[in-house]
Amino acid sequence: MGPNARKVGVLGTGTMGAGIVQVASQAGHPVVACDLSVEALERAQVYVREGLSRFAQKGLISERDAEAAYDRIHWTLNLEDMGKAEAVIEAVVERVGAKKEALGALDAVLPHDSLILTNTSSISITELASATNRPDRVCGTHFFTPPPLREAVEIPRGLLTSDETVERVKELMGSFGKHPVVIRKDVPGFVGNRFLMPMLIEAARLLEEGVASKEEIDLIVKKGIGFPIGPFELGDLIGLDVGLDVISYVHDELGDPFYTPPRIIKELVRAGRLGRKTGAGFYEYPEDS
């Protein structure tokens, strides 16, 4: 463990939270991983073990380092175990109410100087920070999917986020081996989702109108435009429920009819076809894929 290692908390151990746990532990930080559900913690344990194992198999880290990284993680159902963390990253569902509740709970258990960070991909940091008594020490840390592989992290600041907090967050993300990009204005969707969600919306509309099949649209985006992944594949990767939450939030905040959620995405979410994590979204995913 390096001399600059600080205890980091992660609240919410779904796909994003589990990935952030892996990133932080792999970087040498002791990590407290907390969720309300035993099942979520167990899924996250499998995710992190397999993720570290893949890094070791590729020779990116040693087997010993992979084991040491896993051993740095404390898995818990008890929020109070976060009590000595220098920073906690909240990674619960992408909805305002749930996130404000989570940040308020963290505010009650963390030391006064600890940072409260949120992995929101679209929601106002200013609004989320209002649920705490330390809005100057609340900031966004938006990791991309999957966190162990994506190198950039958006750092959206709220209206009251202090410059000192932003510098501490940049330094922490740098210690994770990430490229922090400060988002200077607290706009809905920040940069990443203001770019990605219109692509998913347009692809869904083209599909609904029968212009081309989902496979053909993904092929054009990958083999024509040159993106590494097609919009429907991307939607399935991030989770169509997450995509719908983001699109709905940006639509509500901006009042722009362009962001009206496409019916096909709403129908897939209602049917429980959320993407890779449920085995089916726009595409089917066999268990061994």
Contact 17, 37 (CB under 8 A): no
Annotated catalytic residue, options 90, 154, 233, 251: 154
The residue count for the chain: 289
Q: Give the residue carrying structure tokens 């089917």.
A: 284
Contact 148, 26 (CB under 8 A): yes
Residue 142 falls in the annotated catalytic set: yes
**DSSP E strand stretches across 44-189:** 73-76, 87-90, 115-118, 138-140, 142-143, 152-156, 179-183
Residue 53 falls in the annotated catalytic set: no
Annotated catalytic residue, options 25, 122, 124, 193: 193
Strand partners, 138: 116
Q: Give the residue carrying structure tokens 């913690």.
A: 41
Annotated catalytic residue, options 94, 124, 142, 233: 142
Annotated catalytic residue, options 25, 114, 121, 248: 121
**DSSP E strand stretches across the chain:** 8-11, 31-34, 73-76, 87-90, 115-118, 138-140, 142-143, 152-156, 179-183
Residue 284 falls in the annotated catalytic set: no
Residue 193 falls in the annotated catalytic set: yes
Catalytic residues: 121, 142, 154, 193
